Structure 1
Amino acid sequence: MSTVTLPAARISPRAMLTGGVVAGPLYVAVWLTQAFTRDGFDITRHPASLLANGGPGWIQTANFIVSGLLTIAGAVGLRQTLRAGGSSVRGRVWGPRLVGAYGFGLLLAAAFPADPAAGFPVGTPADYAEISTRGMGHFVAGTIGFSGLIAACLVFGAHYRAIGRRTLARFSVVTGILFFAAFAGLSAGAGSRPTIIAFDLAVILGWTWITTVCRDKR
């Protein structure tokens, strides 16, 4: 009896990169919509991760999952496109891997939600700061994801500089430096308003960078 072999479905690099383009705007839109509608949430005091708590917390969890998967898709698209273009090993291998690490960090953040803190969700004491096992997991997720993003910016900065794309090289490096400064400030600032605001802006900048790079390579 003869057998029929069907061709394997293959998602094009362009479609993968489109996922990377969409991930940031989707994440920011869902985050900000919740930030200005959830009772008790103050965007100047509460990081986005706290939105995973409370009854509607599943929305932010889903936001982490969907944006994480789209970011990983974008990383795969970057790898395929850079490999076809004959980029350096550092550019075609480590750049996409590090972007993928950021996506993986988002998936881990969904699996390990942040602990309630600073009066959110409503009913949480304003000075509540206990760290549970899941809270430690969330911290690890953030460290993996944000470190990946920072390193990806620097690697792509070198890649763009090597091919003469100076504007994108500078944008990449500046994004990595500013994100590192904001993340370090958040870690050291114990949730003060200036560090929360600075980190919020850095998150938007980081997503803008991912969208820009995926769109450039699409």
Structure 2
Amino acid sequence: MTGTQTLVAAATPGRPPRRPNRLLRAGLLAGPLFTVTFLVEPVLHAGYDPLRHPVSSLALGPGGWVQTVNFVVAGLLCLVFAVGLRRALRPGPGAVAAPLLLAVWAVGLLGAGAFTTDPVSGYPAGTPPVPDPPTWPGRLHDLAFSLPGFVAFAGAMLVLAYAYARRRSPLRAAYSALSAVAFVTLFVLATAGFGQSPHLVDIAGLLQRLTIGVGWLWLTLVAAGAMRRPAASP
């Protein structure tokens, strides 16, 4: 008896289905919530001048808990976003470095909320222009959390500028690079103003708000762009 053998090829597994990366939504919320809060808060603080005084000074005095909560909420949202961005970018350039740097920025926000800054530029009323000597919470706020956080945020912009260029997204690459330049320039000028540079001290608060605005706008647009490419199921 002659039989005919029929070979049945095993079905090739399809690609895993795409699913929404809901963690990226945290990146859409963090910047607007943080910005709206610090824009409204000065009404709670007599003698506070947004053009002159830093955002961190809103955590001083009565009602300071609002800014403390603002730091913590923004930090937690940025941590969640960093995880979501990791999923959105992998595999490929920037998939590790950019989320890691944004996580450092998030930890900086959390630390800024945990350790209150020292008075600066005469706020609250009756305090000296610069702390003398600085307190240990103020040192931690500035040197252990705020400064590393801002540096990491700028680094994330540069890393994603490179990553977008490698991913053939020239407009996103250019925007990220220009944002990094503007962010660093404004940050340096604001820092000089808070250091009582006579030409910048009266607008240091404005310069810092522009710095933060550049950063949050960039992060919000990165989140919006990443949401257009849902993460693959693990």
Tell me the TM-score normalized by structure 1: 0.87
Higher-Rg structure is: 2
Taking the aligned partners of 1:82 and 1:127, their CA distance within structure 2 comes to 45
Which secondary structure does the structure 2 equivalent of 1:92 belong to?
Answer: coil
Q: Which residue of 1 aligns with 2:80?
A: 73
Tell me the alpha carbon deviations over residues 145-167 of structure 1, each in whole angstroms, 9 at most, x when there is no partner.
10110000000001111122122
How many angstroms apart in 2 are the aligned matches of 1:196 and 1:61? 18
Give the structure 1 partner of residue 61 of structure 2.
54
Q: Write out per-residue CA displacement over residues 1-39 of structure 1, whole angstroms, 9 at most, x where no aligned residue.
A: xxxxxxxxxxx8722110111000000000000034421
Which of the numbers 127, 143, 146 marks the counterpart of 1:142? 146
Quote how far apart the aligned CAs of 1:126 are. Answer: 5.0
Which of 19, 23, 36 is the matching residue for 2:30?
23
The equivalent of 2:180 in structure 1 is: 176
Q: What amino acid maps onto 2:56 in structure 1?
A: S
Which of 187, 192, 199 is 1:188 aligned to? 192
**Whole-Å Cα distance in 2 between the matches of residues 163 and 147 of structure 1?**
24
Structure 1 residues 210 and 45: CA distance shift in structure 2, 3 A = same
Contact 2:44/2:63 (CA < 8 Å) preserved in 1? no
Q: 2 CA distance for matches of 1:33 and 1:159? A: 36
Q: CA deviation at 1:144?
A: 1.3
Cα deviation, 1:106-156, whole Å, max 9, x if unaligned, reads 0010111111222322x3335353311111001121111101100000000
State whether residues 117 and 124 of structure 1, in contact with CA within 8 Å, keep that contact through their aligned partners in structure 2: no
Q: Secondary structure at the match of 1:42?
A: coil
The unaligned stretches of length 5 or more in structure 2 are: 1-18, 228-234
| Alpha-carbon spacing, 1:13–1:186, altered in 2? closer, same or farther (3 Å) | farther
1:116 aligned to which of 116, 119, 123: 119
- Identify the structure with the greater helix proportion: 1
Out of 118, 126, 129, the position equivalent to 1:127 is 129
Cα pair 2:31 2:74 within 8 Å, conserved: yes
How far apart in 1 are the matches of 2:203 and 2:130? 20
Runs of 4+ in 1 over 6 A off after TM superposition: none
The correspondence for 2:220, drawn from 207, 211, 218, is: 211
- Provide the TM-score with structure 2 as the length reference: 0.81
Deviations 1:153-207 (A, max 9, x none): 0000011111221221111111111111122222333241234322211111100
Equivalent-residue separation in structure 2 for 1:145 and 1:97 (angstroms): 11
Aligned residue-pair number: 202
Kept after mapping to 2: 8 A contact 1:45/1:118 = yes
Equivalent position of 1:152 in the other structure: 156
TM-fit CA distance, 1:87: 1.3
Structure 2 counterpart of 1:87: 92
Gaps of 5+ in 1: 1-11
Mapped to 1, the partners of 2:20 and 2:63 lie a distance apart of 35
